[in-house]
Amino acid sequence: MNNYQRDGSMRFDGNFGAAPNYEPNSFGGPKADPRFAEPPLKISGDADRYEQKRGVDDDYIQPGNLFRLMPTDEQQRLISHIVASLKPVPVEIQKKMVEHFTRMDPAYGGGIKKGLGL
Protein backbone atom coordinates (compact mmCIF):
# COMPACT_ATOMS: atom_id res chain seq x y z
CA MET A 1 0.00 0.00 0.00
CA ASN A 2 1.46 3.35 -1.03
CA ASN A 3 -1.08 6.15 -0.98
CA TYR A 4 1.03 9.18 0.08
CA GLN A 5 -1.15 9.80 3.15
CA ARG A 6 0.78 11.31 6.04
CA ASP A 7 0.35 12.73 9.53
CA GLY A 8 -1.98 9.96 10.69
CA SER A 9 -2.78 8.94 14.22
CA MET A 10 0.29 8.22 16.39
CA ARG A 11 2.76 9.19 13.66
CA PHE A 12 6.26 9.45 15.17
CA ASP A 13 8.71 8.49 12.44
CA GLY A 14 10.36 10.70 9.82
CA ASN A 15 7.05 11.10 7.96
CA PHE A 16 8.87 11.49 4.61
CA GLY A 17 10.45 14.77 5.79
CA ALA A 18 9.83 17.72 3.49
CA ALA A 19 8.87 15.56 0.48
CA PRO A 20 5.64 16.74 -1.17
CA ASN A 21 2.59 14.50 -0.97
CA TYR A 22 0.37 16.43 -3.36
CA GLU A 23 -0.09 16.88 -7.07
CA PRO A 24 0.64 19.00 -9.01
CA ASN A 25 3.94 19.98 -7.43
CA SER A 26 7.25 21.36 -8.68
CA PHE A 27 9.51 19.16 -6.60
CA GLY A 28 9.32 15.71 -8.21
CA GLY A 29 6.60 14.44 -5.89
CA PRO A 30 3.90 11.93 -6.72
CA LYS A 31 2.06 11.94 -10.04
CA ALA A 32 -1.38 10.49 -10.63
CA ASP A 33 -1.26 7.14 -12.40
CA PRO A 34 -3.95 7.10 -15.12
CA ARG A 35 -4.16 3.29 -14.85
CA PHE A 36 -6.06 3.76 -11.61
CA ALA A 37 -8.54 6.37 -12.79
CA GLU A 38 -12.17 5.56 -12.21
CA PRO A 39 -13.81 4.22 -15.37
CA PRO A 40 -16.63 6.24 -16.94
CA LEU A 41 -20.02 5.48 -15.42
CA LYS A 42 -22.77 4.67 -17.91
CA ILE A 43 -25.86 6.61 -16.91
CA SER A 44 -27.51 8.20 -19.92
CA GLY A 45 -24.44 8.59 -22.02
CA ASP A 46 -20.95 8.59 -20.55
CA ALA A 47 -20.18 10.31 -17.27
CA ASP A 48 -16.49 10.99 -16.83
CA ARG A 49 -14.18 13.75 -15.72
CA TYR A 50 -14.47 16.67 -18.08
CA GLU A 51 -12.86 20.07 -18.05
CA GLN A 52 -15.68 22.51 -17.51
CA LYS A 53 -15.65 25.27 -20.10
CA ARG A 54 -16.65 28.55 -18.57
CA GLY A 55 -17.12 31.95 -20.11
CA VAL A 56 -15.06 33.64 -17.41
CA ASP A 57 -12.45 32.70 -14.82
CA ASP A 58 -14.95 32.03 -12.02
CA ASP A 59 -12.14 30.92 -9.70
CA TYR A 60 -10.71 34.44 -9.64
CA ILE A 61 -13.83 36.63 -9.50
CA GLN A 62 -14.70 36.21 -5.83
CA PRO A 63 -11.19 36.74 -4.39
CA GLY A 64 -10.71 39.72 -6.73
CA ASN A 65 -13.97 41.25 -5.56
CA LEU A 66 -12.93 40.75 -1.93
CA PHE A 67 -9.58 42.43 -2.58
CA ARG A 68 -11.31 45.41 -4.21
CA LEU A 69 -13.67 45.74 -1.22
CA MET A 70 -10.75 46.23 1.15
CA PRO A 71 -9.54 49.71 2.05
CA THR A 72 -6.11 50.54 0.61
CA ASP A 73 -4.30 50.04 3.93
CA GLU A 74 -5.78 46.54 4.29
CA GLN A 75 -4.81 45.71 0.71
CA GLN A 76 -1.23 46.77 1.45
CA ARG A 77 -1.09 44.70 4.65
CA LEU A 78 -2.45 41.66 2.80
CA ILE A 79 0.10 42.09 0.02
CA SER A 80 2.97 42.47 2.50
CA HIS A 81 1.94 39.29 4.35
CA ILE A 82 1.73 37.32 1.09
CA VAL A 83 5.11 38.70 -0.04
CA ALA A 84 6.68 37.67 3.27
CA SER A 85 5.27 34.15 2.85
CA LEU A 86 6.47 33.85 -0.76
CA LYS A 87 10.01 35.23 -0.30
CA PRO A 88 11.57 31.87 0.71
CA VAL A 89 9.81 30.05 -2.15
CA PRO A 90 11.65 29.26 -5.44
CA VAL A 91 11.33 32.04 -8.04
CA GLU A 92 9.47 29.77 -10.50
CA ILE A 93 6.70 29.26 -7.96
CA GLN A 94 6.68 32.96 -7.04
CA LYS A 95 6.04 33.77 -10.71
CA LYS A 96 3.19 31.21 -10.88
CA MET A 97 1.59 32.73 -7.79
CA VAL A 98 1.91 36.27 -9.16
CA GLU A 99 -0.02 35.10 -12.23
CA HIS A 100 -2.84 33.84 -10.02
CA PHE A 101 -3.02 37.05 -7.98
CA THR A 102 -2.93 39.14 -11.19
CA ARG A 103 -5.94 37.22 -12.52
CA MET A 104 -7.80 38.20 -9.35
CA ASP A 105 -6.89 41.87 -9.73
CA PRO A 106 -4.01 43.54 -11.61
CA ALA A 107 -3.17 45.74 -8.60
CA TYR A 108 -3.12 42.66 -6.36
CA GLY A 109 -0.67 40.79 -8.57
CA GLY A 110 1.34 43.93 -9.29
CA GLY A 111 1.81 44.68 -5.61
CA ILE A 112 3.01 41.16 -4.91
CA LYS A 113 5.29 41.20 -7.97
CA LYS A 114 6.83 44.47 -6.85
CA GLY A 115 7.26 43.25 -3.28
CA LEU A 116 9.05 40.13 -4.50
CA GLY A 117 11.25 42.16 -6.84
CA LEU A 118 10.22 40.22 -9.95
How far apart are alpha carbons 117 and 75 in whole angstroms? 18
pTM attached to this predicted model: 0.61
Beta bridge partner(s), residue 42? 46
Q: pLDDT tens, position by position, for the chain (118 residues)?
A: 566 666 667 677 777 777 777 788 888 888 888 888 888 877 887 777 777 666 665 789 889 999 999 999 999 999 999 999 999 999 999 999 999 999 999 999 999 999 999 9
Q: Which helix (H) or strand (E) holds 47?
A: strand 46-47
Whole-angstrom CA distances from 60 to 21, 23, 41, 57, 64 are: 25, 21, 31, 6, 6
Instruction: Give phi and psi for 42, each to the nearest 5.
Output: -80, 115
